[in-house]
Amino acid sequence: MSTGRFAESEPLAIVGMSCRVPGGDDVDEFWETLLSGRSMMGPVPEERLVGYNAEVAGAGGLTAGLMPDADAFDAEFFDVGGRMAAWMDPQQRLLLETSWRALESAGIAPASLRGREVGVFVASSTSDFRDHMISTGALDRYSATGSVAAYLSNRISHHYDLRGPSITVDTACSSGLSALSLAASGLRAGDFDMAIVGASNVYGSGWLTAALAHMGALSPTGVCRPFSPDADGYVRGEGVLCFVIKRLDDALDSGDPVLAVIRGAAANHDGRAGGLVKTDAHSQARLMRRALAQGGIEPSSLGYLEAHAPGTKLDEVELNGLRELLRGAEPARFAGPDGRLWIGTVKAVLGHLEGAAGAASLAKGVLVLLNGAIPAGVGILSMDSGFDVHDEQAGAGVVSWPASGSPRRLGVSSFGIGGSNAHVVLEEAPAVAAPGGTWGSRPIPVPISATDPEALRRVAARLAEFLDGPSAPELAVTAWTLQTGRDHLASRAVVPARTLAELRDGLRRIAAGDDVAPDDDVRVRRWLDGEHIDWSPLWNRPPGRRVRLPGYPFRRTSLGIAPRRAARAAR
């Protein structure tokens, strides 16, 4: 743990990111879903509506953005017994999987974190799993550890043996960015050197849906209409996301793959300026001003705002808050395409992820910066230098955001129903020197591993497909990442390769069940036999950084949204 103190303006880095959302089992699939502009919302199945009373609730809540396999989990991979897994909140299960993949995305071997003071901050504002149990009267000796909200964060800390703060955050719809703000404060204070920030929302009960519908929060038509005069309420959505956060200087020194830079992260409350369930434009402006000030950034340097905008009558308040922020600034131009500030919301595609909403918005913001493009889906707006807002053409595709010599920057907003607000300012990752690395004339040994031979074949197939795509990194840095940025599991193989083509060929042979002759170096053979080795001495000069590679292909088994005994009790 660092003993230094850091300024509130210390830039932070997002070095790892993963997600499970409707239309996306990973961040690449999520981006393709955003580009399609296609709504992922549909009818809610009966098993998700236990406790729903239509006579009281009214018409809202019967449409939602749901994952097709929210109940599936690879319990064996995480060494969780069958009974315990069945009685775990699906949020806990999915947080374990997404945290693992987020660390893989960062090129950080989970075992390397054991005993370290890594902070864990998990956002969640619902307890649908526990509500389901209460509705059916189901109980087991694992019910408490499976459903108490503290275990959403504590389960992660326990699994990886992390010794930093482990906190579950609930500020309603702003929980995801509130958790990030807490992590940012701890990193800047030097309390820990790394944080895992997660957020989850799984639709598993009808009670909260009925309560929200009855109070008029949910759309009776089941359609999300952000910034529309026809908006009639939000549509629930689910998803689980995780991020790995470090101080930027530490990330660059460690050779981490920086996905985006956090220049500001702030949270506040409306006090009595708004209402118990209504937000306040002045409080939003004050919050955004503070987040921008952390990075010494002017509002005119922003090119995009990922808005909260769930599709209610209060969406206009958010635009008024933006105007309040800009009042007196009068920029000649914004930094977005065509000199405008573009405004969008992920909720038009996924629905409102409630406690995970800010995390979904953050992930979209990171992807916008990585791709230099803004998805042009439903609800896309732009603001000109006179602060007038324009509806843009909705549909599939993107608005290109070309590089301009200055780093692209954007804001992400999330406002809670109880008055707690959070805002994050993101900047594109800085350019870094080529990773370098020299091996010599012999083939580079590229290691892969999995829990068993069948899983190893899936690992090989997944990696080969990725390395055949446009995002494939060079061979040396791919090998270095797999050597030093992964836990090495029981079933192992090595592909000796001089080129990416040779690596892809070897991986496909493993995926087909064929043998690949390993490197004859004695140290590599020791690794194949299950030993831990230091890969650095095998290089003339190791690469200076690691890269994002595909995550582990879990073997998931359906456990049900609720334990089977609970399902029987409900009938």
CATH code of the domain in which 489 resides: 3.30.70.3290
The Cα–Cα gap between 497 and 442 comes to 8
Helix, strand, coil percentages (3-state) for the chain, rounded to 5, are: 35, 20, 45
For residues 356 and 500, membership in a common domain is answered with no
The Cα–Cα gap between 346 and 235 comes to 12
For residues 406 and 483, membership in a common domain is answered with no
Q: Which residues contact 77 (CB under 8 A, 6 or more apart)?
A: 451, 552, 554, 555
For residues 284 and 352, membership in a common domain is answered with yes
Strand partners, 14: 245, 260
Residue 554, in any domain of the structure = no
For residues 379 and 482, membership in a common domain is answered with no
Helices (H), 12-119: 27-36, 54-57, 82-86, 90-106
* Domain CATH code at residue 245: 3.40.47.10
Concatenated DSSP letters of 225-285? -TT-TT---B-EE-EEEEEEEEEHHHHHHHT----EEEEEEEEEE-TTSS-SS---HHHHH
Helices (H), 372-449: none
Q: Is the pTM of this model over 0.75?
A: yes
Q: Show which of 428, 455, 474 is a domain's final residue.
A: 428
Ramachandran region, residue 325 (left: φ > 0; alpha: ψ -120 to 50; beta: rest): alpha
Q: Tell me the two tokens of residue 541.
A: 């000069």
For residues 469 and 421, membership in a common domain is answered with no
Token look-up 């526990």 returns 130
Instruction: Give yes or no for a contact between 200 and 88, defined as CB atoms under 8 angstroms apart.
Output: no
Q: Tell me the two tokens of residue 131.
A: 């509500």
Token look-up 């018409």 returns 59
Q: Tell me the two tokens of residue 103.
A: 């660390």
Tens digit of each residue's pLDDT, the chain (571 residues) = 444 556 778 999 999 999 999 999 999 999 999 999 999 999 999 989 998 988 888 888 899 999 999 999 999 999 999 999 999 999 999 999 999 999 999 999 999 999 999 999 999 999 999 998 888 888 899 999 999 999 999 999 999 999 999 999 999 999 999 999 999 999 999 999 999 999 999 999 999 999 999 999 999 999 999 999 999 999 999 999 999 999 999 999 999 999 999 999 999 999 999 888 888 999 999 999 999 999 999 999 999 999 999 999 999 999 999 999 988 776 668 999 999 999 999 999 999 999 999 999 999 999 999 999 999 877 799 998 878 888 886 666 889 999 988 999 999 999 999 999 999 999 999 998 877 788 888 899 999 999 999 999 999 999 999 999 888 999 999 999 999 999 999 999 999 999 999 999 999 999 999 988 777 789 999 999 999 999 999 999 999 899 999 999 999 999 988 886 543 433 3
Which of 415, 443, 399 has the alpha carbon at shortest distance from 352? 415
The Cα–Cα gap between 44 and 54 comes to 13
Residue 20, in any domain of the structure = yes
Strand partners, 399: 374
Q: Tell me the two tokens of residue 85.
A: 């897994």
pLDDT of residue 564: 62
For residues 355 and 394, membership in a common domain is answered with yes
CB atoms within 10 A of CB 551: 21
What are the b/e assignments for 394-405, b being 16+ CB within 10 Å? Answer: eeeebbebeeee
The Cα–Cα gap between 37 and 126 comes to 27
Residue 111, in any domain of the structure = yes
∠ Cα 21 22 26 (to 5°): 45
What are the b/e assignments for 319-345, b being 16+ CB within 10 Å? Answer: bebbebbbeeeebeebbbbeebbbbbb
Which of 569, 556, 475 has the alpha carbon at shortest distance from 90? 556
Domain range for 521:
444-538
pLDDT of residue 567: 39
Counted residue by residue, the chain has a size of 571
Q: How many domains are contained in the chain?
A: 2
Residue 571, in any domain of the structure = no
Residue 174, in any domain of the structure = yes
Residue 561, in any domain of the structure = no
For residues 364 and 455, membership in a common domain is answered with no
For residues 422 and 456, membership in a common domain is answered with no
Q: Show which of 404, 428, 452 is a domain's final residue.
A: 428
Residue 290: exposure state from Cβ atoms within 10 A (0-12, 13-18, ≥19): middle
Which of 33, 49, 53 has the alpha carbon at shortest distance from 41? 33
The DSSP H or E segment spanning 65 is strand 63-65
Q: Which residues contact 188 (CB under 8 A, 6 or more apart)?
A: 6, 7, 8, 10, 12, 247
The Cα–Cα gap between 390 and 319 comes to 12
pLDDT of residue 4: 52
End-to-end CA distance of the chain: 52
The Cα–Cα gap between 46 and 206 comes to 9
Q: Which residues contact 495 (CB under 8 A, 6 or more apart)?
A: 445, 446, 448, 502, 503, 506, 507, 510, 516
For residues 473 and 525, membership in a common domain is answered with yes
Residue 502, in any domain of the structure = yes
Which of 167, 120, 127 has the alpha carbon at shortest distance from 147? 127
Which of 548, 275, 309 has the alpha carbon at shortest distance from 415? 309
Residue 546, in any domain of the structure = no
Angle (deg, nearest 10), helices 315-326 and 281-294: 50
CA pseudo-torsion sign 400, 20, 70, 312: negative
The Cα–Cα gap between 307 and 316 comes to 11
Helices (H), 411-471: 453-467
For residues 510 and 409, membership in a common domain is answered with no
Instruction: Give yes or no for a contact between 378 and 310, defined as CB atoms under 8 angstroms apart.
Output: no
Angle (deg, nearest 10), helices 453-467 and 500-511: 150
For residues 424 and 448, membership in a common domain is answered with no
Q: How far is CA 13 from CA 183, 252, 429, in A?
A: 12, 9, 8
Token look-up 């595609």 returns 349
Strand partners, 541: 438
For residues 499 and 378, membership in a common domain is answered with no
CA pseudo-torsion sign 121, 125, 127, 128: negative
